[in-house]
Structure 1
Amino acid sequence: MAQNTYPKVSIIVASYNNQDTIGECLQSILALDYPKECFEVIVMDGVSSDGTVKTAEQYPVKVVSIRLNCPAAYNYAFKIAAYPVLGFIDSDAKVESDWLKKLVPHLTEPQVAGVSGSIDTWNRDNLWARSIGYELKNRYRRIGKYTGRIATMNLLLKKSVIEVVGGWDEKLPSQYDTDFGFRMSEKGYKIAYEPDAICYHYNRPTLSAYYRQQLQYGKNTLKLYFKHGHLAKGDEITDVGMNIQPILLLAAAALFVVGVIPLLRLLWIGSATILLAMFVYFIYSAVKISVKFNDWSAMRLIVLYYVRSAAWFVGAVTTTLRYITGRRN
């Protein structure tokens, strides 16, 4: 690619209390094998209470600290970005030096709104994080050459398409990328997938941290399905099997509670059957991934699957109650 043909990119890093990872994240971006005059870096910080801003200010990047959720921060960055292509990298992620060079050629393809790279695990020494990474990597491997939506963890988007689509829905603190992808697809656009452009994500290292993350996903996934009901059928990244698990937990809990009545005690068998079926499915899925990646530490996914299902269940119940009581934000 000739020097004068490199598209100019504004790379957006949304952060909040990421002091442990923001430094390496920015170092990886500034070390990109890409002409320095062809990209800028904007850190959109949500008023972190730790040393995130102080660390970010040590680098030659623009730092904006304002109390906004992630989609609102992206909409803000859209207005101040200088270049026609926006890049998105999470503040708990880092990219290989050729990441940008491998992505930008796809932007010339017809009807391609953007392009994403693949995901690997940054903190592989932590067995929970490694297992989460295997599961996510396995889901990404189901993506073909193009997809309708993908996480903003490592993504390029044309600024002109973002404007046509209408930006990000600020009422969705998470799952805003799925919503954006759906609205983008309705306009006839698609996202290219380049598996050789690698991003390393710092996955949640403990069960409690993973539960808190998935709880937010559960809350906002239901909001997303209230907005776009047909998305509940799933896609190549979040399939219907994942979506149905919280419903199965609800059914098991309901049967158990109703079974407290002596005449309906047999319903406990139904509750136990559902939980057993989920357990068998989780074992099968964990074994399959363990074999695929030749690492039996991935059997921890059995626990992680239950944690995720429980978090999505609690999150969905919380959102439903807020809708019933009229508190939708």
Structure 2
Amino acid sequence: MARLVPHGKFLLDGAQKFYIRGVSYGPFPPNSRGERYPEPERAAADFALMRILGANVIRLYVPPPPWMVEEAQRAGLRMMLGIPWPFHMAFLDSADMMREIRDVVRKTVLETRQFGETIAAYSIGNEIRSDIVRWHGPRAVSRFLAELRDLGKQIDPGALFTYSNYPSAEYLDLSFLDFISFNVYLHREEDFRRYLTHLMGQAGELPLVLSETGMDTIREGEEHQAALLSWQCRAAFELGLSGFIVFAFTDEWHTGGAEITEWAFGLTRRDRSPKLAFDAIAKVFRDDLPPLLTTAPKASVVVAAYNAASTLGECLSSIRELNYPDYETIVIDDGSTDSTSEIANQAGVRAIRVEHCGLAGARNAGVEAALGEIVAFIDADARADRDWLYHLVETITRRDAAAAAGPNFAPDPQSARAAAMAAAPGLPREVRAGDDRLAQLCGCNMAITKAALLEVGGFDPMFTTAGDDVDLSWRLVASSETLAYAPGAVVIHERRATLAAYLRQQRGYGVGEGLLFRKYPLRAADQDGMYAGPSWIGSLLGGARIYYGEFGRGLFQTVYSAGNSYADLPLTIQWIAISLIFLILGTVNRLLGVLGASGIALSILTGTASAASAPLQREYSGLIARIDLWILSLLGPTTRSLARESVKWRFEPGAAGGDPNGPVKLSGETEFVISESAAKIDSATILAAIRDALVRRGVAVAETDGFQSYDLELVVPPMIRVPINALRKDASIALLWRVRSVPRRALIAAAVTFVLLAGCFSLGAGIVGVIFAGLAVGLLALTRARRIPAIISACAAEVAGSLGILIAKRSEDES
């Protein structure tokens, strides 16, 4: 028996996962020695019965005498040792009470540290009342609990410390603990699974243990208790929790100076005769964990690799150890120039080499080759947890979902630089849409049914470096498919080792976001990004709110964040460029220089605030790591923004262009003649093909959702919109389009320019500035507008050729 160690979202006993299979024990009426536990003979018999149950941890609410710990050692049981103090009182209002609490923690750890590995963990508190937390404030309570944890660590550095929270104070920040514990009593399976999934997400990289659950057999009956605990126990481990503790081992219970006879939560009766729930729990405890799947469809694990020789070996080693009965591994070598193919072949997996086509194309090649019903994707620089595939497939099958994705965490940092890289902004992550649903999958850790992939057409090959997972997610959601959150499906994803590598990654993400803009130009600002994360400024300005409920007695009190789409505005290339222009103009007018300098200062301040608020590993949270993180926070979003805007504003090379000196065509019509052989082709098919052709040529195209007056609309920065409408005739489909501007944006730009210049120079200068700005914007719009008719014509010809239909020979109207 070795000491337990937290590692990612799981506990380890040596190199093996350790699942807490626990029961609570006591408190009891004092025995002949005045101890709040049974006589030694009774305790020894109870421990033997616990071993028959399959338990390996006893949760205690008061410190045990030494003989009891030794008896647990002989039985092969560990203890989760609760440290009692007045949780129900306003303890932070009394310096004396706080000192007494510290003394209790110090005394308990000092007296029991000799038992080492037998103490699975110390619980430094249990269910501080929600109204007390509300009164003191969550930050103050969290700080005090962190102080108790640090006090215990000073005495016994190798011990684990937790705190048993409950839903009414869920919002407490407990990230300083070794693992998170929650007492949850929910009796509907759907609610139970959804809430535990939510808690798994809230716990972040920490393991989660269900530290109390149960049912009273006096009111509910023994059969109901057995059925409830059976599915609860199985559900907890299926979701990826690290432990499940039943309240309680026996009906015998003494608390508050009185024997409790009105409740009977035990797995055994007061005389220790087992109830039906005893065997129900034993069936799960004594079996393999996580529980075996009732159905295990064949799965294919696809690794898209490009020059991945340095990391692919470890990735494939982790996949080889997966706890799943029927899967294959496919490596798609995307035209690598290093030894990627050789490493894949030596690993004994299916290795397919393709010409370099980019990330989405490589993943499509993997889907085409996959034999499994479910296709899982992991990056070549990631390592899968042993139960990664199990949790993805279990979630998809149980939820009848099209896809599932889990979290990815950085490896344990070995330096300040690595810690800063792990906390840098803009890293890949899944995006939650609720307790157990996702808005976006993350490509380094996701699984999708092959049927759903084929139904939506797979990955879009346009996304060569990033964005393919987000695009696929949006198309699946638009098809009313469920994207499920699988918090137990964990991968360890390497972060970039150098600043240059990190900036290349952010540049690739920016390109992906620019391409997403082309396909979805009218999505809201808080929807069009990749891997959207919480905003530091949101909490600073009050964006985060806690639900307390009436009189502060809400049963499920959590944090809700309104978010802030403009939190990183000072780090965008537009902000910085305008600030630099004003700074240069400061040579003419001092006030403009002040505005420019203020803009640059605000950018630096934003980066500083982001770096200061980002969580870092405790051992690497010093000045060097913060400086590294500050540099990353300044350069990363700016680089990403520059790449995103460069894609938004340019047409792709090779796109058709109009005569730069010719007249501007403001409207036109293309008529597709439907022959008998193409009679089944409808306007929707033609519009979809036109859209794809336009997007490939670098044009942003919005689709109607049924509420717009157009079928498609081209969005051409800075101020052009081109609606396209399909008109069905007897034997043809006509596409009508017209160019129009967006005066509202032009007016806003003119107003801002006028105010700035008028304030800095004079009213006349403001008017002149507005005129020049308007001319510049108009000239740019005119230049881009000249290319639109030719691009539409080229796309129409391409679509007609691919669909086998004709374009009517007719002149286009102009106005």
Alignment of 1:183-262 (within 5 A): 183-229=475-521, 230=523, 232-234=525-527, 237-239=531-533, 240-241=565-566, 244=569, 246-247=571-572, 249-261=573-585, 262=587
- 1:97 match: 386
Amino acid at match of 1:120: F
Deviations 1:127-155 (A, max 9, x none): 44432323579985973421121211011
Sequence identity (%): 26
- 1:305 match: 633
Match of 2:315 among 9, 17, 25: 25
Specify the SS of the correspondent of 2:615. Answer: helix
How far residue 183 of structure 1 moved from its aligned partner, in angstroms, is 0.8
How far residue 175 of structure 1 moved from its aligned partner, in angstroms, is 0.7
Match of 1:323 among 651, 659, 676: 651
Amino acid at match of 1:283: T
Amino acid at match of 2:489: A
Match of 1:6 among 281, 288, 296: 296
Match of 1:83 among 365, 372, 390: 372
Backbone CA RMSD of aligned residues = 2.8
Deviations 1:225-274 (A, max 9, x none): 12212154247931535774553x32232232254344344223223222
Amino acid at match of 2:605: V
Structure 2, unmatched stretches of 5+, are: 1-290, 534-564, 656-696, 699-815
* Distance in 1, Cα, partners of 2:395 & 2:293: 17
Alignment of 1:104-183 (within 5 A): 104-110=393-399, 112-122=401-411, 124-135=413-424, 143=432, 144-173=435-464, 174-183=466-475
* Distance in 2, Cα, partners of 1:324 & 1:49: 27
User: Closer, same or farther in 2 for the Cα pair 1:98/1:236, shift >3 Å?
Assistant: same
Greater helix proportion: 1
Deviations 1:50-93 (A, max 9, x none): 11111111012100111221111111221111011000010000
Amino acid at match of 1:41: T
How far residue 14 of structure 1 moved from its aligned partner, in angstroms, is 0.4
* Distance in 2, Cα, partners of 1:194 & 1:66: 31
Tell me if the contact between 1:150 and 1:181 (Cα under 8 Å) persists in the aligned partners: yes
User: Closer, same or farther in 2 for the Cα pair 1:293/1:179, shift >3 Å?
Assistant: farther
Alignment of 1:30-49 (within 5 A): 30-35=320-325, 38-49=326-337
How far residue 160 of structure 1 moved from its aligned partner, in angstroms, is 1.0
How far residue 278 of structure 1 moved from its aligned partner, in angstroms, is 2.9
Tell me if the contact between 2:302 and 2:332 (Cα under 8 Å) persists in the aligned partners: yes
Amino acid at match of 2:600: L
* Distance in 2, Cα, partners of 1:236 & 1:171: 16
Specify the SS of the correspondent of 1:255. Answer: helix
Amino acid at match of 2:446: L
Tell me if the contact between 2:401 and 2:481 (Cα under 8 Å) persists in the aligned partners: yes
Q: Does 1:290 align with 2:584?
A: no
**Matched residue count:** 326
Deviations 1:87-143 (A, max 9, x none): 001000001111112222111244521111211113622544432323579985973
- 1:278 match: 603
Specify the SS of the correspondent of 1:270. Answer: helix
Tell me if the contact between 1:128 and 1:207 (Cα under 8 Å) persists in the aligned partners: no
Deviations 1:294-320 (A, max 9, x none): 751552322112121221133134324
Tell me if the contact between 1:151 and 1:178 (Cα under 8 Å) persists in the aligned partners: yes
How far residue 166 of structure 1 moved from its aligned partner, in angstroms, is 1.7
Tell me if the contact between 2:431 and 2:439 (Cα under 8 Å) persists in the aligned partners: no
Specify the SS of the correspondent of 1:112. Answer: coil
* Distance in 1, Cα, partners of 2:399 & 2:504: 40
User: Closer, same or farther in 2 for the Cα pair 1:232/1:63, shift >3 Å?
Assistant: farther
User: Closer, same or farther in 2 for the Cα pair 1:49/1:283, shift >3 Å?
Assistant: same
Specify the SS of the correspondent of 1:24. Answer: helix
Tell me if the contact between 2:306 and 2:340 (Cα under 8 Å) persists in the aligned partners: yes
How far residue 49 of structure 1 moved from its aligned partner, in angstroms, is 0.9
* Distance in 1, Cα, partners of 2:469 & 2:361: 12
Specify the SS of the correspondent of 1:260. Answer: helix
- 1:59 match: 347
* Distance in 1, Cα, partners of 2:311 & 2:408: 16
- After the TM superposition, which of the residue ranges 161-170 and 191-200 deviates more from structure 2? 191-200
User: Closer, same or farther in 2 for the Cα pair 1:167/1:232, shift >3 Å?
Assistant: farther
- After the TM superposition, which of the residue ranges 271-280 and 81-90 deviates more from structure 2? 271-280
User: Closer, same or farther in 2 for the Cα pair 1:112/1:209, shift >3 Å?
Assistant: same
Please report the TM-score for the alignment, with normalisation by the length of structure 1: 0.88
* Distance in 2, Cα, partners of 1:204 & 1:164: 35
Deviations 1:8-62 (A, max 9, x none): 1000000011111100000000111122xx1000001111111111111101210
* Distance in 2, Cα, partners of 1:252 & 1:102: 44
- After the TM superposition, which of the residue ranges 141-150 and 112-121 deviates more from structure 2? 141-150
- 2:261 match: none
How far residue 208 of structure 1 moved from its aligned partner, in angstroms, is 0.5
* Distance in 2, Cα, partners of 1:281 & 1:246: 7
How far residue 158 of structure 1 moved from its aligned partner, in angstroms, is 0.8
* Distance in 2, Cα, partners of 1:135 & 1:231: 25
Amino acid at match of 2:457: G
Amino acid at match of 1:105: E
Specify the SS of the correspondent of 2:440. Answer: coil
- 2:592 match: 267
- After the TM superposition, which of the residue ranges 15-24 and 161-170 deviates more from structure 2? 161-170
User: Closer, same or farther in 2 for the Cα pair 1:274/1:260, shift >3 Å?
Assistant: closer
How far residue 2 of structure 1 moved from its aligned partner, in angstroms, is 4.7
How far residue 3 of structure 1 moved from its aligned partner, in angstroms, is 6.8
Please report the TM-score for the alignment, with normalisation by the length of structure 2: 0.37
- After the TM superposition, which of the residue ranges 251-260 and 132-141 deviates more from structure 2? 132-141
